Structures are given as C-alpha cells and as structure tokens.
Amino acid sequence: MMIVICVAALAGLALLTQAGVVVLQWIYPARGAPIAVTGARLNVLDSGPRDATGPAIVMIHGATSNLGSMRVPIGDRLAHTHRVILIDRPGHGWSTRDNTTDSSPAMQARQIDEALGKLGVSRAIIVVHSLAGAIAPLLALDYPRRVAGLVMLAPVAYPWPGGVGVYNDIVTTPVVGPLLAYTITLPLGLFLTEPGARSVFKPQTMPDHYVRDAAIPLVLRPHAFLANAWDLVTLKPAIAAQAPRYPAIKVPVTIITGDADNTVYPDVHSKPFAKAVPGAKLIMLPGVGHMVQNAAPDLVVREIEAMIAGLGMVGKQAAE
C-alpha cells in the first residue's frame, strides 16, 4: 500500500512539475533567437547598433541564472551605443544542450565561439560573471582571433575549498537525481528562489522585482536545474586543469570584484588570477558582494567603455 501511495505522489508531483514548466515558460518567454551549434542550441539576444564603433560586447551569465542577470543591470544600457550580445549558456534560460552531463568550460567556450562566428562577430569584448569566469580565459586562449578583451565580474577562476552544495551532488546522482528534478525541484524551488537570490546579493539589498525581471525561476525547470547542477559539480577539476594556462592570455583583462563577496572569494579567485595574467587590472570594491554588476553598474560600464577606447587607441597607433 505504501508503495502505491509513493508512486501516486511522485506521479502527481511529476504532472505538477510539467504544468509548472508550461506556466514558467509562458510567464518568462524567450528574449532572443536560437542559434544551432554543435551539441546545443544557444539562445542569443543580439541588440544595439550593428554599425557601432569598436568591438561587440558579449555578455555571459553565471550559475543559477540566464542572460537576464546581465541584461537587467548593464546589458540594455550598453546597447544604446554598442552592439551587445547576451547569451544563455548551454542548458540555461532558453538554450538547450544535447548532453546535460557534458558541462565543461571548454565545451561551453567552443559553442559560444561557434555562435559568435555565425553572428559574424570577428572581435568582441567578453564580459562574464561568476561561473562564466571559467569560460572567459578559454575563449581568449583557444579563440584569440575572436576576443579583443575580457571584463570579469567576481569570476570563478581557481579550485576552492569545500563543495557546491549537497543538493547539487544529489541531483547529479544517477536515477535519484533526475527523479528529484522531475518531481520536487520546481514546486519546492518556487519557495526558495527569492531567499536564495537575496543571499547572493548580500551585503547589498536585492533590487525590487529582480527575480521576476531576470527570469530566475526558469532554472527550476528540470533540464535547466540538471544542467546547472552538472556545471557546478564538474567545475572544480576543470578549472584546476586550465589554471596553469592563464599566464598565456594576451588580451587586456579587467577584473572587478567585491571584498565582501562570500560566494566567490576574491582571495581564492580574482587576486591570484590578476597576478597570473600579464598586465591584468584588478579593481576591488569595498563592502560589495557577489553581484558586482548590480552594486556598481556605472563603474562596470565605465571599465567596459575604457577597454574599448583603449583598443581604439592601440589600433590607431598601430596604423600610424
């Protein structure tokens, strides 16, 4: 009898989850258009003037989010004067990926480079946040013709002490993980999304309506939740393998981080990365937490503009 009750409960939760997916995708429709690449379809929001002076600005979000977390504070603003390309990472937002467990930064860098090629982007400033900090160095190292510079916001760059949360370990366990993702993750997550987002903003206050405006609940859909979990549980060995390559980065690099970031510790990531990359510029913001683009949008925009201006001066001097 108990087995029948459990099966019925799981079936009910699965139906509730599928209904929830339909509702979430109605509330948060896709912004952008899909681009087919090897192993995925990337949702890309390409905005701003195509004839803008200087390289395009490509923005890549971190974990447990989508392109909305970069669009809301700075992407729309930069698009007034620049071509801005916001990308849902493979498996996130409205992007898909064929193999959920294949989540390496190298794979994601390859797919993003392929998408940029299809968009006709020859040179770009790559702006990344958090987990995408593991992708940006590989774009600069493996696709140097595509990358003009890196602006890295509270980036993940090195292995860190500790794990990535018990729930991520559980949801990547065979059989049990997908079962949970397709039954309880969405109903339970609806109650936890806003408190979780608030904690990432600390010590700053999360902006009103941020969860809605950035479409954060999309991560609760089973395929996105699984993709996010696999990204996190496989990240540490991946960045341990790539970290020795950082001194070979040749493009301009600006790192902006907060000294109160308790999500991605600057002493573990930003500071050693700045030392490893020749000529890297490190900006430490006192009292600022993990969401740098929200806490200091004016500064972030100025640094992106300054990098573009600097590249223009270099090109002018080379021509002379």
Q: Please report, for the domain that includes residue 56, its CATH number.
A: 3.40.50.1820
Give the pLDDT band (50/70/90) at residue 263.
very high
Residue range 190-236, pLDDT digits in tens: 999 999 999 999 999 999 999 999 999 999 999 999 999 999 999 99
Q: How many domains does the chain have?
A: 1
pTM for the model stands at: 0.94
Q: How far is CA 202 from CA 76, 121, 263, in A?
A: 24, 36, 9
Q: Where are any strands of DSSP class E within the chain? A: 33-37, 40-47, 56-60, 84-87, 96-97, 124-129, 147-153, 253-258, 281-285
Domain region containing 88: 2-319
